[in-house]
Amino acid sequence: MSCLGVYASIARVGLSAALMYRTNFLFTAGLTVVVGVTVQLFLWLAVYGWGQQTAFAGVPFAQMALYVACATLSLGITRGGRVERMVAEEIRTGELIRYLLKPITHGPATLALALSERVVTFPIVLGLALVAAWIALPWLPAQAGVERVVAAAPFLAVGIVLNFLMGLGISYLAFWMDEVWTLHVVKDISLWFLSGQLVPLSLLPHGLQMVSEWLPFQYLAYVPAGIIAGLIPVEKLPVFALRAIAWCLLLTAGVAVLWRFGLRRFGGYGG
């Protein structure tokens, strides 16, 4: 079997396993998006004075509402799943030896499992988000142009890869630490703000905005949602694309280093 065929088989196994947890995805991923969009809209309605203020920081409420819905959806799609976190448990219990005895590379194999998990998550999150948008924001389909959605799609894919690499890097710290679950929780909580899901990064003070433009977190929510909502001009997309590629390469190298040095400390025993 070819190399690609091996990872395709791994993805099929991951898809079967993910379907076992479809109810969990429905309540954790889907309802998180619906509740997140609803709460965010109420908060921004209050900021806009419940319709008395037509714009805030130069952004009309309709555009802000579109951004909120898209940012919450983007973060729901790119958020890390159980696969990345399971790696730490495999290291702790010694089950990682299963990968070391097979002709596969651990990183790509884990990525195949993570992508198969998101295949299940995506339609649930997207379907519930569209239902919420249809109920609360019936004008959304007319606001989001097809060309902007197409332009945002590659950045959404990059966001999935970046979040995966960050999660995998944290799990690889289990080679040196007994428990890394707290670090995953801290990362997930931090992403609510750092990714631009709560507040568009373009509304931050100038200094924080400049720093955030060089960080990878913006690709999880702000960049895809900002493109669709029109907060990010088209002429800036090549710059964002180059930075995204650079972060993918940098994080991949960092994860590879953690894996290489972590294996020197790993020991698998038993039969």
DSSP string, 110-145: HHHHHHHHHHHHHHHHHHHHHHHHHHH-TTHHHHS-
Q: Which of 4-18, 69-83, 160-174 has the highest mean pLDDT?
A: 160-174
What is the residue-averaged pLDDT of the chain?
80
Q: What is the pLDDT of residue 259?
A: 93
What secondary structure, in 3-state letters, does 6-39 show?
Answer: HHHHHHHHHHHHHHCCHHHHHHHHHHHHHHHHHH
Structure confidence at residue 250 as a pLDDT band (50, 70, 90): very high
57 has a pLDDT exceeding 50: yes
Average pLDDT on 87-107 reads: 81
Nearest to 59 by CA among 74, 71, 47, 75: 47
39 has a pLDDT exceeding 50: yes
Structure confidence at residue 23 as a pLDDT band (50, 70, 90): low
Structure confidence at residue 168 as a pLDDT band (50, 70, 90): very high
3 has a pLDDT exceeding 80: no
Average pLDDT on 43-59 reads: 82
Residue ranges of the domains in the chain?
9-263
Among 85-94, 121-130, 192-201, 227-236, the range scoring the smallest mean pLDDT is 121-130
Structure confidence at residue 1 as a pLDDT band (50, 70, 90): very low
* Spatial distance between the Cα atoms of 9 and 112, rounded to a whole number of angstroms: 9
Q: What is the pLDDT of residue 260?
A: 92
* Spatial distance between the Cα atoms of 229 and 148, rounded to a whole number of angstroms: 8
Average pLDDT on 167-180 reads: 91
Average pLDDT on 240-256 reads: 95
Average pLDDT on 8-33 reads: 62
245 has a pLDDT exceeding 80: yes
Average pLDDT on 219-225 reads: 92
Q: What is the pLDDT of residue 162?
A: 93
Average pLDDT on 140-168 reads: 81
Q: What is the DSSP letter of 59?
A: E
Q: What is the pLDDT of residue 105?
A: 81
Structure confidence at residue 133 as a pLDDT band (50, 70, 90): low
Residue 235 CA to its chain's centroid (Å): 24
Strand partners, 14: none
Share of the chain above pLDDT 70, in %: 76
